[in-house]
Chain A
Amino acid sequence: MTATSTTPASAPEAVSPGRQAWRMFRQNHSALFGLAIIALIVLASVFGPYVYTVPPREMVWMPLTPPGESEYLLGTDYLGRDLLAGLINGGRVTLTVGLSAAVLTVLIGITVGALAGFFGGRVDDVLMRITEFFQVLPNLLFAMVVVMLFSPSLLNIAVAIGVVSWTSTARLTRAEFMRLREMEFVKAERSIGAGNARLIWRVILPNAAPPLIVVAALSIGTAILFEAGLSFLGLSDPNATSWGRMIGDNRPYILDSSWGVTFPGLCIFLTVLAISLVGDGLNDAFNPKLRQR
């Protein structure tokens, strides 16, 4: 990698902006560490239930058994359910809800922000007033109302989280669009016959992507925390056990079995930490000022 820039470009190699970013990301050890943790958690959640086949919702041993005192490595909860099996299966639920809520957040946020930022004027006024309306609502309270109005199914929980958390994505997208729509390459694209739809989705959005990817990654972490909060308050799908639900269920017994809340708490902490590390790494990787080195 020493001589690539000094040798005459006899056979020039195309370096896309995405590849440049990946080169930066690869050198960021904490981001790679975060990526490794995420990979581990995802693998454990997806394939774990097939490898570790203890049923997560059945009584398998004495209730409140501490870790290491039985064949069930992390001990049991107040109903005698295996905590490790709970974590592995709960990971699926937590990640699914977190991911789908984040997807919804990003979809709503980008659509609203892109239209407001691109068209400006009255469109911007209307969309920003709606955004502000959602911004001033207390997030947790509003999400609770949504979940209680409809049934607390996984889908409804994900929708509730998405519906209350898209505003910051919308504002960021709007700002990026307002910056980029005045750029000459957007004018150039218009002069060669591009319509608004192409300008918004194919020309401006890819160029606005770097900060949005960072926000999207971080919003998965936020959504996981949000889901944990709702579950802790008892607003969870009765047919699915997430990490947050495990904390909520074991809370009354915290003095007798600290492990019942510690392990799911640790899982949430690790996941969100890893997502933050990756988010920061992406942020640096997309920063052209750090790319020169």
Chain B
Amino acid sequence: MSGTQNILEVSDLKVHFPIAGGGKVYAVDGISFALPPGVAFGLVGESGSGKTTAALACARLNDITAGTIRLNGQDITRIEGEALKAARRDVQVVFQDPYASLNPRERAGAIVRRPLDLLKVGTPAERAARVDELFALVGLRPDQKELFPHQFSGGQRQRIGVARALASRPRLIICDEPVSALDVAIQAQILNLLARLKQDLGLSYLFISHDLAVVQHLCDRIAVMYLGQIVETGSRRQIFTRPSHPYTHALISAVPSPHAIGGASSRIRLMGDPPSPISPPSGCRFAGRCAHAQDRCRQAAPPLADTGEGHAVACHRANDPEVVAAREALIRAAPSG
């Protein structure tokens, strides 16, 4: 296995959920991306954009309608049984809500040990030692192993969640909005923990968030999702200094920033709600809310086109002077990135 092989390769992934009375929810509708080793890949978008569905599909926690997912080069889209268990050792999940993701009837130590038992990692004696090691790694005391989840704070619970995800020594961790349920002060602690673990253990992250500030802090590459599709993807620098899709503009202008005080007029306000994922529009899915939309946007869906250096945008007017001018105004208003 070469060191340059992608940890995760998703191609044309589709996850459709049937709904009662016929019809489908097109939650994830044809997304592709690749995750090189040691990279934190941010998947951002608003609620309902399909980012969590896509991420959980990568951990084989959703039924996959079409497309392929490769983990370390192995196609894991349809594997079952022992093969799936073996794959699970290499990809683990940190869930969104630490109040819901820990079994309330199990002790913290048992929760962290469970993946070792179920995925048959090491001998029983090694597993006990590994649990102690994991508790230390995420900053918990060994005497807290006997406690139940309700005896921990939100931040401590998320540390337990991180320890459980790390137990089987996975190379890829899928973080599903791991800090959105936490207080801001605690968010920073958990983000710093994740950053440190990535460094020390050489982990790769698929990081789901609706909060660009969080993604900016942790991620090397970013993909922006809208209504089940990726509308823009690039490096952190590309996304924050040359955001090319009008939707990305809106997301970036929504990041609270101390520079923006008094400059509220520069904020892009999106009107209305995203269209229904049950019957997505035929043209560009963002056209209905886009300030720059033209007739052709409503008629034909723009392909995700590479503009060079791995920066890809799905917008007919990405290089149009009007859209570029909007970007310049945005970057001037918020000198971050």
CB pair A184–B148 under 8 Å, yes or no, is no
Q: How far is the CA of A16 from the CA of B104 in the complex (A)?
A: 9
Q: In this assembly, does A15 line the interface, its C-beta being within 8 Å of a C-beta of chain B?
A: yes
The 3 closest A-B pairs by CB, nearest first: A192-B115, A184-B101, A193-B118
Q: How far is the CA of A194 from the CA of B60 in the complex (A)?
A: 13
CB pair A16–B148 under 8 Å, yes or no, is yes
A residues near B103, Cβ cutoff 8 Å: 185, 188-189, 203, 207
CB pair B105–A206 under 8 Å, yes or no, is yes
Indicate with 1 or 0, residue by residue over B117-130, a CB within 8 angstroms of chain A CB atoms.
01100000000000
Contact of B101 among A12, A185, A194 (CB under 8 A): A185
CB pair A193–B104 under 8 Å, yes or no, is no
A124 to chain B, nearest CB (A): 12
B100 to chain A, nearest CB (A): 4
Task: Take A14-B146, A14-B147, A15-B148 as given contacts and tell me if A191 and B93 are in contact as well, using a CB distance cutoff of 8 Å.
Answer: yes
CB pair B151–A14 under 8 Å, yes or no, is yes
Indicate with 1 or 0, residue by residue over B162-193, a CB within 8 angstroms of chain A CB atoms.
00100110000000000000000000000000
User: Which residues of B come within 8 Å of A, CB atoms?
Assistant: 56, 59, 61, 85, 88, 92-93, 95-97, 100-105, 107, 114-115, 118-119, 143-144, 146-148, 150-151, 161, 164, 167-168
CB pair B151–A194 under 8 Å, yes or no, is no
B20 to chain A, nearest CB (A): 11
Closest to B119 in A: A193
Q: How far is the CA of A73 from the CA of B25 in the complex (A)?
A: 74
CB pair A191–B101 under 8 Å, yes or no, is no
Q: How far is the CA of A194 from the CA of B56 in the complex (A)?
A: 16
A195 to chain B, nearest CB (A): 9
A residues near B61, Cβ cutoff 8 Å: 187, 190-191
The contact sample of 18 A-B pairs, CB cut-off 8 A, is: A12-B143, A12-B144, A12-B147, A14-B107, A14-B146, A14-B151, A16-B105, A17-B148, A184-B97, A185-B102, A187-B93, A187-B95, A188-B93, A188-B103, A189-B103, A192-B92, A193-B88, A207-B105
Q: How far is the CA of A16 from the CA of B110 in the complex (A)?
A: 13
B131 to chain A, nearest CB (A): 13
Q: How far is the CA of A210 from the CA of B15 in the complex (A)?
A: 35
Q: How far is the CA of A12 from the CA of B95 in the complex (A)?
A: 26
Interface extent on A, as a size class? Answer: 20 to 34
Contact of B114 among A17, A187, A192 (CB under 8 A): A192
User: Which residues of A come within 8 Å of B, CB atoms?
Assistant: 11-12, 14-17, 183-185, 187-194, 198, 203, 206-207
Task: Take A185-B100, A187-B61, A193-B119 as given contacts and tell me if A17 and B151 are in contact as well, using a CB distance cutoff of 8 Å.
Answer: no
Task: Take A184-B100, A184-B101 as given contacts and tell me if A193 and B148 are in contact as well, using a CB distance cutoff of 8 Å.
Answer: no
Contact of A191 among B92, B102, B105 (CB under 8 A): B92
A residues near B168, Cβ cutoff 8 Å: 192
CB pair B164–A188 under 8 Å, yes or no, is yes
CB pair B95–A188 under 8 Å, yes or no, is yes
B184 to chain A, nearest CB (A): 22
B104 to chain A, nearest CB (A): 6
CB pair A193–B85 under 8 Å, yes or no, is yes
Q: How far is the CA of A59 from the CA of B161 in the complex (A)?
A: 71
B residues near A16, Cβ cutoff 8 Å: 105, 148
CB pair A11–B143 under 8 Å, yes or no, is yes
Q: How far is the CA of A198 from the CA of B85 in the complex (A)?
A: 14
A residues near B161, Cβ cutoff 8 Å: 188
Task: Take A12-B143, A17-B148, A184-B95 as given contacts and tell me if A189 and B114 are in contact as well, using a CB distance cutoff of 8 Å.
Answer: yes
B residues near A17, Cβ cutoff 8 Å: 104-105, 148, 150
Q: How far is the CA of A198 from the CA of B93 in the complex (A)?
A: 19
Q: How far is the CA of A187 from the CA of B176 in the complex (A)?
A: 12
For the complex with contacts A17-B104, A187-B56, 7 further pairs of A-B residues with Cβ separation under 8 Å are A17-B148, A185-B100, A187-B95, A188-B101, A192-B119, A192-B168, A193-B85
Closest to A185 in B: B103
A183 to chain B, nearest CB (A): 5
Closest to A190 in B: B61
B residues near A194, Cβ cutoff 8 Å: 118
B residues near A203, Cβ cutoff 8 Å: 103
B residues near A189, Cβ cutoff 8 Å: 103, 114
B109 to chain A, nearest CB (A): 10
B residues near A192, Cβ cutoff 8 Å: 88, 92, 114-115, 118-119, 164, 167-168
Closest to A121 in B: B18
A residues near B148, Cβ cutoff 8 Å: 14-17
B residues near A11, Cβ cutoff 8 Å: 143
Q: How far is the CA of A192 from the CA of B100 in the complex (A)?
A: 16
Task: Take A14-B147, A16-B148 as given contacts and tell me if A191 and B104 are in contact as well, using a CB distance cutoff of 8 Å.
Answer: no
A residues near B95, Cβ cutoff 8 Å: 184, 187-188
CB pair A184–B96 under 8 Å, yes or no, is yes
Q: How far is the CA of A188 from the CA of B167 in the complex (A)?
A: 13
B159 to chain A, nearest CB (A): 14
Task: Take A12-B143, A185-B102 as given contacts and tell me if A193 and B151 are in contact as well, using a CB distance cutoff of 8 Å.
Answer: no
